[in-house]
Structure 1
């Protein structure tokens, strides 16, 4: 008797979605796979990565590179994210996104926002972001394959990890002012967020991005993803949420 094939894909749950969002938001680089023009062969390259407010990946690449030419010819691509740690690299979480690349028109609202968020995340890219042959692409995810470690495989739909566009436009208008204010006047609170909510040690943390689900922190090459207790329903809620999180963090530390 032949036993039925075991389904190795787990049911997508809140924990898997949170892990997927963390891997995407925390990434500063990834492996981009494209279809080589002419041959149809797969071609992979390492690229710098940031995210748009809704969670879609953003990349900045030279129009002279082979993978950029491939994307222009065929926008289908895959982006692998997730850094290996100590020990077996296959034991660490990673996510592969099936995407279509969209070239952002220079000077458009989407391109200006993408450039701002990308450079907040990857400030060293300012050295070449303004060069004429470099362009920003937004990778529109269709689905994702999440591997949380051995025996933890999930298939995710776009809606599992990409936030609705309505709040994106609202946050886009106020995000940079909020970032500048927090990084200039509330570095102690940011360090508290990193310690208490992110379990991250060390100093020098700054906020590099806000979105409906949370915020991204960075300290030199280290990154930290912090989720809000509840997703924002409106951009105006951001300040009160940050204040309450700071209060909760300080209270918890005082009790220790």
Structure 2
């Protein structure tokens, strides 16, 4: 999921409706991202995304990896990444009775590394979290806590030498390519970031300093078709197909 989110960044079998980046369904709620082409200046990776109705079932990437997504009802509960037949990463999502994400666990098997986030949903709409790390079997070493807002992320460390950090976000007023995926809004903030999954980040600042920025072009339904991102002097391009 992380690769797709941070292209996304949380695409598999070619969908029966491949579409292109200018055309698409007539209704906004029917748009689903079907293909992403990402270029970092040296390498191009194409991700094709498959669905069962609006539920994402997995992705197939041109770098030889693929993912399989599992739902329980309308909630995404597992996202596994494979290289060939080998599981290289497993992300799991646990929810409370209200369908709110309470625990996100990410295991990277190649490195034997694991991290876990435990969430508390606050009455003001923000989400507090504690982050733990460890290995593939247990993640019980506390690292830091934080709070997620609609437009910023705060992280607090118990280490006096590590100050509180704040990441702020500026958004456009257009549609996020992933907004119509069933269950995506429940997990879009997993591992941090922000609570706004309906729009697109155009500016990100870390403790007030500009960290990255993006410019988009859009189709007639206000979904992105191209993105040019600048991060720490590097430029990345992404094309979106529906």
Q: TM-score range by the shorter chain?
A: under 0.3
Q: TM-score, normalised by structure 2?
A: 0.26
Structure with greater helix percent: 1
Greater Rg over alpha carbons, structure: 1
Structure with greater strand percent: 2
Q: TM-score, normalised by structure 1?
A: 0.25
